[in-house]
Amino acid sequence: MKKYDIRLICLDLDGTLLNSDKQLSERNRRSLAECAARGIYIVPTTGRLAGALTPSVAALPFLRYVIAVNGALIEDLKTGEVLCREEIPNADALRILSVLDSFPGIYDCYIDGCGYMNAEMLEKAEDYTIDAHHLALVQSTRKPVADLQTFVRDKGCTVQKSQIMFHSREIRDEALPKIRALLPDFLHSCTYATNIEINSPRAHKGAGLQFLCRHLGIPIGNTMSFGDGSNDISMLQAAGVGVVMANADADILPYGDITAPSCDEDGVAQILERYVL
């Protein structure tokens, strides 16, 4: 069995490192700890806010860096220093929110580590989230405001990411090409079956991986990435070894050099045990 010389591992969370119940299994935790003990950097790489890591992941003692909000933020968890920001200018953010307002969904945006959503929309979140775990995440990380567009305009700040959620995947799939056509200057990706996320064109996980490699002096060929969604494609392509989860959508599977067993089968640990440890 071929072994890879890996010095940095980027891991998506939902649907990848975490199982369907959003739990970090003991086998996955143990394999990451063994990699860290060998001097390999373990980097959560997520669409979530840096402060919204699952507690079991945030508590891992060997974490040093996080790539958050799909690459809009890279933070040194030890010092609290923000190493890189790639955010959406205020005027562009307002244009995005105006476009999203014309679609039949609920939408939000992330500003400086916090999510915001119209209060009326947040009250309807149960109808637009895929399960109880997703609902709990939305409710715990969004603050209600009277009118999101007015709120963003008055703050005059940059935005890390905007997101819209729909009732169903079918409605999402119908809306996606229309939103791409209306907002061609941004990156569009999907983390869940019913959402669309919009980032700066420079904010993606692959760019975050490349930045950390430059920061740490690690050749990109000595990296491995794990993912399952369209927001993971850039880092699957950028890494020396891209690992796609078996539970990924069929159109994501071709982007992996290796296909791992599903997130409910400790797929991350199985690949690390086989190819790294």
Domain boundaries, the chain: 8-86+203-275, 90-199
Q: What is the mean pLDDT of each run of 10 residues along the chain (277 residues)?
A: 93 96 96 98 95 93 97 96 97 98 97 96 95 92 97 97 96 97 96 94 97 98 97 97 96 95 98 97
Predicted local distance difference test score (pLDDT) of residue 9: 98
The β-bridge relationship of strands 223-227 and 258-260 is unpaired
Which option is the CATH number for 90-199: 3.30.1240.10, 3.40.640.10, 3.60.110.10, 3.40.50.2300?
Answer: 3.30.1240.10
* Residue 213 to residue 215: CA distance in whole angstroms: 5
At 188 the pLDDT is 96
What distance in Å separates the CA atoms of residue 10 and residue 46, rounded to the nearest whole number?
9
pLDDT at res. 191: 86
Q: What is the pLDDT of residue 253?
A: 95
Dist CA 146 CA 269 (whole Å): 45
CATH of 8-86+203-275, one of 3.40.50.1000, 3.40.50.11540, 3.40.50.300, 3.40.309.10: 3.40.50.1000
Cα angle 72, 19, 51 (rounded to 5 degrees) comes to 35
